[in-house]
Amino acid sequence: MRSTQAKEVTIMPNLHRFSIAHLWALTALVGIFIFVNTHPIRPHDFWWHIAAGRELASTGRIPINDTYSYTMYGAPYPAYQTYWLMEWTLYQIYHRGGAALVILFQSAIVTTAYALTLWLARRLTGSWRIAAFAALFAAALGINDWNVRPQTITFLLAPVFLNTIQTYRRHPKPWLLLTFPAGMVIWVNVHGSFPIGLLLIALWGADEAWEIAASWAHSQEQQKQRLKALLAPAGALSAATLACLLNPRGIGVVQYVATMTTDPVIQTLVTEWAAPTFDTLSGQLFLSGLLASATVLALSPKRPTLSQLLTFLAFGTLGLRTLRGSTWFGLVMAPILAEHVERIVESAKEKMSERVKQPSQQTPNTKLQNTLNVLLVGLLLLGAFVSLPWFKALWPLPPQKAGLISAETPVAATDFLLREQPPGNLFHAMGFGSYLIWAAQPAYPVFIDPRIELYPADLWLNYLRISAAAPGWETQLRAYEVQTLMLNPQEQAGLLTEVRESKQWDEIYTDAVSAIFVRKD
């Protein structure tokens, strides 16, 4: 780490012209921005979160119990107290600017997160090209997690922490340490992944402690300097840990996180909590990134520092345990890999220059290059501008990317429910539950929805049996006093066929997304 700091001081980008190297970085970030801008809001998480934010805004109180389902009505649901700040924020944005403003907010957060990752990689290497590839490496591992939900803001907090650590190690100004408790107050009130912030600070402390051990044989003055350097991460970690108590649940937030990470229902039903495999694209990207990272660290002429090795092990283990760890692995490893890739490239160049005499290079036409670069920058910025959600209809996008709200969201079917008012109780596809919570309350409480941990395992088993049209499905629907069905033709095809063949149901609505039936008797 110390050797890279000197490099940061001597190698600075040429501020007098925008070079092709800068274009690499700009292209990577604009690509991320355009991708998120053209990604519609998917139904599973967003809608129930802003419904909770709406309740908070209207009552001034964070919800404590479930009021959206008829199967678990009144049951405690502590997740509201974990996500409340971002739920309120997302609701306010949606209330003022609709889906378009939410998507722009999302793209701004995601792009800034990877811009900070790119910037840190640039500081460590002096190369915009390597930094751009590092950002794209991180983006590839995180792209599956870019749907709109409270967790997104934490993807920005992690690069803020990493950049602050690097800045403090170069210029130890005490006020920089305030970033950590301030950041943790936000983190602990928007998502349960806040222990990752503490881990990043702890890894910094481990690196400083290792430096102390390595310098133990040196002079007492050097030992004192190293001990003084350790005080910064120790103080930051202590302050950040205390800041985590500033949430509605206090110390109880730890119990919630522990429950989420060990709940067998979550581990079984939520694909994001499953371990990565080569059977899925997300698994392929993470496992390939893990192998590539190990290869780079092994081949690098520079020995990885202790914190870099611990980062690889800690976040690699997290990613191997759950696909949700893939994004974090990409964000924390990208700057580290950039540093070691730069060393590999420099070593290769040195060996090449020893073997091959470099031909004389012609003086480039700087004026022409500058003109072309300016034109390319203009095209990139134009592309970013026309990708704004308000212009999305101009793009020839595939169906899965078209529209501001994903086509899989049952908007039209829910409007039909509210207009025609068939009798409840309502049984529906789980993915529909989130939008129903937002748009159909209190007329149609949900049977089940993406708040996975709210519902006990036996209820999930009943839902899965009914959805699969297992023997006795009609009896189970009667047990729940279900009068109306709202089915997903893709996910519940077998049940849809059985219902249509049954003499107990009338089909009153059908579109590409859903089919609605009411009981005859």
Chain centroid to CA 308: how far? Answer: 22
Strand ordering across the sheet containing 484-487: 426-428, 484-487, 515-519, 505-510
Residue type, 67: T
Q: What distance in Å separates the CA atoms of residue 194 and residue 184, rounded to the nearest whole number?
A: 7
Kindly state the tokens that stand for 101. Answer: 């403003």
pLDDT at residue 25, rounded to an integer: 92
Point out the least confidently predicted range of 31-45, 215-229, 253-267: 215-229
* Tens digit of each residue's pLDDT (9 = 90 or more) over 134-147: 999 999 999 988 99
Cβ 232 vs Cβ 218: under 8 Å: no
Residue 449 in this model has a pLDDT that exceeds 50: yes
Q: Could you tell me whether strands 515-519 and 484-487 are parallel, antiparallel, or unpaired per DSSP bridges?
A: antiparallel
User: Which range is most confident: 68-77, 246-255, 272-281?
Assistant: 68-77
Under the banding of pLDDT at 50, 70 and 90, the label for residue 218 is: low
pLDDT at residue 364, rounded to an integer: 59
Residue 241 exposed, middle or buried by CB count within 10 Å (0-12, 13-18, 19+) = middle
Phi-psi sector, 251: left (phi>0), alpha (psi -120 to 50), beta: alpha
Q: Which residue has the higher pLDDT, 433 or 358?
A: 433
Under the banding of pLDDT at 50, 70 and 90, the label for residue 479 is: very high
The DSSP letter of residue 490 is T
State mean pLDDT over 344-350: 85
Q: Which residue has the higher pLDDT, 398 or 16?
A: 398
Q: What distance in Å separates the CA atoms of residue 435 and residue 48, rounded to the nearest whole number?
A: 7
* Tens digit of each residue's pLDDT (9 = 90 or more) over 21-33: 888 999 999 999 9
Q: Which residue has the tokens 């495999």?
A: 277
pLDDT at residue 11, rounded to an integer: 42
Q: Which residues contact 129 (CB under 8 A, 6 or more apart)?
A: 21, 24
* Tens digit of each residue's pLDDT (9 = 90 or more) over 458-470: 999 999 999 999 9
Residue 148 exposed, middle or buried by CB count within 10 Å (0-12, 13-18, 19+) = buried
Print the SS3 string covering 198-251: HHHHHHHHHHHHHHHHHCCCCCHHHHHHHHHHHHHHHHHHHHHHHHCCCCCCCC
Q: Which residues contact 368 (CB under 8 A, 6 or more apart)?
A: none
Cβ 46 vs Cβ 64: under 8 Å: no
Tell me the pLDDT of the chain averaged across its residues: 89
% residues pLDDT > 90 (the chain): 69
Point out the least confidently predicted range of 258-272, 328-342, 399-413, 460-474: 258-272
Print the SS3 string covering 445-461: CECCCCCHHHCCHHHHH
Under the banding of pLDDT at 50, 70 and 90, the label for residue 201 is: very high
CB atoms within 10 A of CB 223: 14
* Tens digit of each residue's pLDDT (9 = 90 or more) over 99-116: 999 999 999 999 999 999
Cβ 282 vs Cβ 323: under 8 Å: yes
Point out the least confidently predicted range of 116-130, 148-162, 167-181, 251-265: 251-265
Q: Could you tell me whether strands 484-487 and 426-428 are parallel, antiparallel, or unpaired per DSSP bridges?
A: parallel
pLDDT at residue 439, rounded to an integer: 96
Point out the least confidently predicted range of 206-215, 236-245, 363-372: 363-372
Residue 267 in this model has a pLDDT that exceeds 70: no
Q: Which residues contact 170 (CB under 8 A, 6 or more apart)?
A: 5, 8
pLDDT at residue 256, rounded to an integer: 76
Q: 3-state class of 193 per DSSP?
A: coil
Kindly state the tokens that stand for 398. Answer: 């595939």
pLDDT at residue 3, rounded to an integer: 41
CA 388, 117, 14, 354 torsion: positive or negative? Answer: negative
Cβ 178 vs Cβ 186: under 8 Å: no
Q: Could you tell me whether strands 515-519 and 505-510 are parallel, antiparallel, or unpaired per DSSP bridges?
A: antiparallel
Residue 520 in this model has a pLDDT that exceeds 80: yes
CB atoms within 10 A of CB 458: 8
Which of 407-432 are b and which e, b meaning 16 or more Cβ less than 10 Å from the residue's Cβ? ebbbbebbebbeeeebebbbbbbbbb
Cβ 332 vs Cβ 162: under 8 Å: yes
Residue 40 in this model has a pLDDT that exceeds 80: yes
Nearest to residue 130, comparing CAs of 138, 121, 117, 139? 121
Element spanning 161, H or E? helix 152-170
Under the banding of pLDDT at 50, 70 and 90, the label for residue 406 is: very high
Phi/psi for 278 (5° steps) reads -75, 0
Residue 251 in this model has a pLDDT that exceeds 60: yes
Chain centroid to CA 423: how far? Answer: 39
The DSSP letter of residue 506 is E
State mean pLDDT over 43-56: 94
CB atoms within 10 A of CB 56: 18
Q: Following CA atoms 56, 59, 60, 61 in sequence, which dihedral angle do they give, to the nearest 10 degrees?
A: -70
CA-based R_g, the chain, Å:
26
